[in-house]
Amino acid sequence: MVRRTSSQCGVRGRRLAACLLVLLAPVAAGAAPLISEVFYDAVGSDNGLSFVELWGVAGTSLDGLVLDGVNGGDGSITPHLTLSGVIPADGLFVIADDAGDGATSVAGADLVVNFDFQNGPDSIVLRAAAQVLDAVGYGEFAPEEHFAGEGLPAIEGAPGTSLARRFANVDTGHNASDFVVLDVPTPGAAALAAVPEPASAALLAAGLAGLACGGRSLPARRGAARRRA
């Protein structure tokens, strides 16, 4: 049997600790806002009911950012929305469809503009000028169609449902895994991933790293016992 030396175990332990710290590190997004929920297909008319919810750091200005709807069929952009406003204290900013009279049926809307995002396969892209900050594509795209989302597209729910991130503040870069269908849309409310305290993460990593070579001293103790006998 090959026994690891204390130096080998130390290296392995440090590597394991480093890997665990990476895995335990917060996967939440940075300062750039994320598309956290979209509702584009109500039962019956969508007028005044559609919304896009953004998550971001409270106090972040949205002035000048745009939301583009990218047609899956030909790649054309419609609608093109110029945003304004500031992300509120709860981190959720709701852009709601104007019913035609300046009002909306979406409760708690932070910005009311006229738009109609299409059913899938389509994509919604959040941009700062030419820079893509976030994007979600939904529906089944044929090879020749235009997917402007991240990874693989999210599934498309039935009319009356919305697409929402599992955690509004987490972006893995894969729409299919990040987004789920909600039977009841939740504008202005979202689940957030808990971020582990740095001290707790470090302690856990150190403990597990120690376990990686936890049995290394057993042969020495057995040998010592034999010598005493």
Q: Which fold has domain 34-182?
A: Immunoglobulin-like (2.60.40)
pLDDT digits (tens, 9 = 90+) for 166-207: 999 999 999 999 999 999 999 999 999 986 554 444 444 455
54 within 8 A of 37, measured Cβ to Cβ: no
CA-based radius of gyration for the chain:
25
From residue 34, alpha-carbon distances to 39, 113, 143, 174 in Å are 15, 19, 27, 13
Written as one letter, the residue type at 101 is D
Give the residue from 135, 31, 117, 48 showing the smallest Cα distance to 79: 117
CB atoms within 10 A of CB 184: 7
Tell me what pLDDT residue 196 has. 52
pLDDT digits (tens, 9 = 90+) for 107-140: 999 999 999 999 999 999 999 999 999 999 999 9
pLDDT at 24 over 80: no
Among 55-69, 92-106, 205-219, where is mean pLDDT lowest? 205-219
CA angle 145, 146, 149 (to 5 degrees): 135
- Across the range 91-118, mean pLDDT stands at 96
3-state secondary structure at position 203: helix
Tokens (6 digits) for 127? 């941009």
Q: Give 94's strand partners.
A: 53
CA within 13 Å, CB half, 112: 15
Tell me what pLDDT residue 187 has. 98
| Domain locations along the chain | 34-182
pLDDT digits (tens, 9 = 90+) for 30-62: 668 999 999 999 999 999 999 999 999 999 999
Residue carrying structure tokens 């503040």: 169
3-state secondary structure at position 3: coil
